[in-house]
Structure 1
Amino acid sequence: MSDLTILHNSACSTSRHALDEAAGAGVEPAVVHYLKQPLDRAALIDLMGKLEDPPADLVRKDPFFKAQGLDAEDYTTPEAVADLLVEHPRLMQRPVLVRGDRAIIGRPKDRVAAFLAD
């Protein structure tokens, strides 16, 4: 069993980069395709408890976010972010790397190698 989990979207080049970095470091991660296997609210709250980034950073503020009429100011707490991501999993930033009690968003790409080296 791997001690590294990557929440992955195969359509995302940054997410694929994280998998390549892990392979290059000799790490075989557990891969969770979060769009096919969305995290539930409790798992999202747990994830944000490990996240080194602010909860708001877990939300993609992309055109879909804007098209829904959403306001970034409404999604700053773990609870609000979890509720949003349960409803719209596609708004989760990716990739997310989890190891033990630590997690990071793998953006920018250079954060991945540093996280794997720790």
Structure 2
Amino acid sequence: MKAIIYHNPRCSKSRQTLQLLEDSSVTSDVEVIDYQKTPLDVATLDEICTGLGIEPQQLIRTKEELFKELGLSINDNKTREEWLAILEQTPKLIERPIVKINGRYAIGRPPENVAALLGNMG
């Protein structure tokens, strides 16, 4: 089964999740997308949020210094499209890693979330 991981190689949780996918007997093919080098477009971000069952602002790393520097607040009165545009323009703010397997999504923070997803696939 193919897995896609939206990955940041500088993040330890992202590296742990990638290793989990590579070691799994469920995933035979792992596509790694370094979203810092290959930014995600609004359509992909919207698909991810829909797949996770969350609003775009719930995908934001609010403790990231850049979030504060941009003067953002989760309580800002922005539309879904505006939040998606912020994520598209500032990939550093995206929670990571995100894994897609067989049309289902999980955020690998902690990596056990992805292990649970894999367990449901086996």
TM-score normalised over the length of structure 1? 0.87
Identity %: 35
Greater CA drift, 101-110 or 68-77: 68-77
> What amino acid does structure 2 have at the position aligned with 1:41?
V
Task: Check the 8 A contact 1:56/1:75 in 2, yes or no.
Answer: no
Distance 1:87 1:14 in 2: 23
Segments of 4+ moved more than 3 angstroms: 52-55, 75-78
Output the aligned Cα RMSD: 1.9
* Count of aligned pairs between the two proteins: 117
Structure 1 segments unaligned to the other structure (5+ residues): none
Are 1:71 and 2:50 counterparts?
no
Are 1:86 and 2:88 counterparts?
yes
Are 1:38 and 2:39 counterparts?
yes
| CA-CA distance at 1:96 after TM superposition | 0.1
| CA-CA distance at 1:105 after TM superposition | 1.0
Structure 2 segments unaligned to the other structure (5+ residues): none
User: What secondary structure sits across from 1:31 in the alignment?
Assistant: strand
CA distance change for structure 1 residues 49 and 67 in 2, over 3 Å: closer, same or farther? same
Distance 2:15 2:52 in 1: 20
Task: Check the 8 A contact 1:95/1:106 in 2, yes or no.
Answer: yes
Greater CA drift, 18-27 or 3-12: 18-27
Distance 1:75 1:19 in 2: 35
Task: Check the 8 A contact 1:34/1:89 in 2, yes or no.
Answer: yes
| CA-CA distance at 1:80 after TM superposition | 3.2
Distance 1:52 1:29 in 2: 23
Q: Deviations over 1:4-49 (max 9, x none)?
A: 1000000000000001111221323111000111111111111211
Distance 2:78 2:15 in 1: 27
